[in-house]
Structure 1
């Protein structure tokens, strides 16, 4: 039973073999929802998958095996949850809706009881989780996220988890098709923007499939797509976030936000309060370009130049202050 928003809930183990697992179809989903008095809500962006083939495809694209530790965000009634557990993986589901979090252990116990000891559900908003309040993954060198994310908060959830969990090594998520396109977009395209560049800070993303709206209940008004992401390793010298000279992430993201906040403006106009002419020159970036043409490496180079010139200016000011003070003493 879920008794507290931070409490983890495991279900008792039993003995059904994984090979005979029954994944949830449309009739199962509607029965479970009716029995629990649950209706999909727009507030939490809930659209439940009713097709076993789709959730198995997601897990297959994610490459989940019995050796993996998986986080799922927004498990809903358990369609994807069961498909993940079917592989033999251990997992923790993060569910914001208390009735759904309360119901989910019973669904696992009913349809895949042998997986009960590998499953935990936490009733919490994914935007609030951290290694401190969700310690399940603290001992893992790397873990993976597999989820059908609510359309309205997909990007914030992904960027928040990547920021807070250094060992989140990969993810495979189903999101609105337009969101998937933006997450995987490359510089120069019309849909390349803040999510594209910030995600590229951490690793590489690609679209790996499209999902029709008819596999959901209720059916959304848009199609969905799968995005696969792999994080840079700590020894990857090409990663903008690695190395002793790596710029501060917060400064890089501040530049990205400013550049795309005024998308039609040149970098000179959009970043005039942050980046000096000297910093543009030092980074080798033409200030008449627009933010949508810059790679993450170029934003990182610009941040590095800004930090260097800020430090140099501060040192110059300190030297001037010292010289004035010495002059006062001499007089």
Structure 2
């Protein structure tokens, strides 16, 4: 196995006439120790099928391939998507058959486009779309059991924030619907080329069952969006449009056992699920209908 270092990354980029762009969130990892650390902390096992979003020139891909059964690399840049199998064949021929490259937008892929059901997400995510990508993949790939992603440090803090925190918000609550989320460590700027002007952080995700509720995920997420759209307001005021009126919002909150004068940042995802149930269509609560509604 021959990982990519600073010289190799720059040389490969020059040969391909690649100039990293902010539009695609391209910052290539040039430190072998960092990619090995990511793979180790991800907890992947030999039976795992890993999905990697934004593999770029292949720094993390090369470290990941020997540790799993398959890597499905989703790359939006056509030049990088075409080059990645060639790089792997040259530097790691013994595991080259474990790589599948999908030239696509990660925000638009599902099991059909991937041709498989990945069990782990391991990626240095494009920072400009990191939260939407994480939430999309957790939604459309129920086979994902765990993940370790590198994102902007500020985003890592928000994803892993607990209720009551100043930075707790929509990403925190929605991620908690799918998984237990925690910070897994910092990453310095000097491990990238070009070096970003922001710090980075690792986020660990371990799949868990969503809250037991008769409301759908869409209904719960609508309540979350409404609560944080005006986060300085009390829930009674913030949820007025969502519920129809402030009085209806108060009724829903009281029905869920929530103080109408509380604010969104004080609530757990389970609390939002109970609130959503109060506004769910009446048909969901008719006699004879039990258990969770379809998602």
TM-score (norm 2): 0.92
- Give distance in 2, aligned partners of 1:131 and 1:66: 21
- Give distance in 2, aligned partners of 1:63 and 1:281: 42
| Residues 1:90 and 2:64 aligned together | no
Aligned-pair CA distance for 1:92: 0.6
- Give distance in 2, aligned partners of 1:158 and 1:253: 15
Of residues 14, 31, 35 in structure 1, which corresponds to 2:11?
A: 31
Contact 1:88 1:115 in 2 (8 A): no
- Identify the residue that residue 229 of structure 2 maps to in structure 1: 261
- Give distance in 1, aligned partners of 2:202 and 2:218: 28
- Identify the residue that residue 290 of structure 2 maps to in structure 1: none
Of residues 131, 134, 139 in structure 2, which corresponds to 1:163?
A: 139
**Structure 2 gap segments, 5+ residues each:** 287-295
- Identify the residue that residue 29 of structure 2 maps to in structure 1: 49
- Give distance in 2, aligned partners of 1:300 and 1:120: 38
Contact 1:48 1:79 in 2 (8 A): yes
| Residues 1:188 and 2:164 aligned together | yes
- Identify the residue that residue 113 of structure 1 maps to in structure 2: 93
Aligned-pair CA distance for 1:165: 1.1
- Give distance in 2, aligned partners of 1:274 and 1:73: 34
Give matches, 1:64-213, under 5 Å.
Answer: 64-137=44-117, 143-213=119-189
- Local SS of the residue matching 1:273: helix
**Structure 1 gap segments, 5+ residues each:** 1-20, 234-238, 316-331
| Residues 1:229 and 2:205 aligned together | yes
- Give distance in 2, aligned partners of 1:281 and 1:154: 35
Give matches, 1:57-68, under 5 Å.
Answer: 57-68=37-48
- Give distance in 1, aligned partners of 2:222 and 2:50: 31
- Give distance in 2, aligned partners of 1:274 and 1:286: 17
TM-score (norm 1): 0.82
Aligned-pair CA distance for 1:88: 4.4
- Identify the residue that residue 262 of structure 2 maps to in structure 1: 289
- Identify the residue that residue 4 of structure 1 maps to in structure 2: none
Contact 1:64 1:89 in 2 (8 A): no
Contact 1:75 1:147 in 2 (8 A): yes
Contact 2:184 2:204 in 1 (8 A): yes
- Local SS of the residue matching 1:146: strand
Of residues 271, 277, 280 in structure 2, which corresponds to 1:304?
A: 277
- Give distance in 1, aligned partners of 2:238 and 2:261: 10
- Local SS of the residue matching 1:168: coil
Instruction: String of CA shifts for 1:65-102, please: whole Å, max 9, x gaps.
Output: 22211000000000000000132431110000000001
| Residues 1:249 and 2:217 aligned together | yes
Instruction: String of CA shifts for 1:262-318, please: whole Å, max 9, x gaps.
Output: 1101111111133323222211111111111111111011111222xx518x99xxx
RMSD (Å), alpha carbons = 1.7
- Give distance in 1, aligned partners of 2:132 and 2:68: 29
Instruction: String of CA shifts for 1:100-146, please: whole Å, max 9, x gaps.
Output: 00111110011001111111101100001012222222xxxx60000
Aligned-pair CA distance for 1:183: 0.2
- Give distance in 1, aligned partners of 2:214 and 2:114: 28
Aligned-pair CA distance for 1:42: 1.1
- Give distance in 2, aligned partners of 1:88 and 1:207: 23
